[in-house]
Amino acid sequence: MRPVRTAARAMLGSIFVLDGVRTLAQPEKRAEAARPLADRARPFLERADPRLPTDPVTLVRVKAVADVLAGLALATGRFTRPAAAVLATGLVAHTLSDRDNRDQVLRDLGLLGGLLLAAADTEGRPGLRYRTSHAVQRSRRTARRALRTAKREARIATLSAATARKLPG
């Protein structure tokens, strides 16, 4: 299954890398489509931090850089789950700004499905919740075992001391 995961992630990540590079080369085209969404987000950005950029061209460039970096991470198999989550978040914003084109929205929904699968994929290894709960159970078993051993050793020591007192000499 590993070669399939590797190939799928490389194909999925390459879409975002190429799209991000194209956007960085010509951000104005995407900025016009993103303007309504950027205008709605402006008050939230200004409230969060007045130093954050609010113009659509800069926001589109920031998203493009995030797409390139996260796409490369996904394609190379590094930080795949966080990279897929970043790409999915950016894809939702992209879909909202491009909702008039039905074919593009359907393409984006398909990509979003693939990103959600990549974000949830643990590569056959147990997830964090499973590992945490089992680590707690192992710790409890180890503590109980150590307590039983300590009680047994204490009984043996008590019996040894009692026996030693009975010995002559």
What are the tens digits of pLDDT across the range 85-119?
Answer: 999 998 888 887 777 788 888 888 888 888 888 88
> How do the domains of the chain map onto residue ranges?
2-120, 127-169
Structure tokens at 70: 């996260």
Q: What is the pLDDT of residues 10-27, one digit of tens each?
A: 999 999 999 999 999 999
- Residue at 23: amino acid letter: T
The whole-number average pLDDT for the span 154-160 is 93
Which pair of structure tokens corresponds to residue 46?
């200004």
Q: What are phi and psi of 14, to 5 degrees?
A: -65, -30
Does residue 85 contact residue 109 with C-beta atoms inside 8 Å?
Answer: no
Which residue in 107, 110, 112 sits closest to 86, CA to CA? 112
Rounded CA-CA distance 73/16 in Å is 11
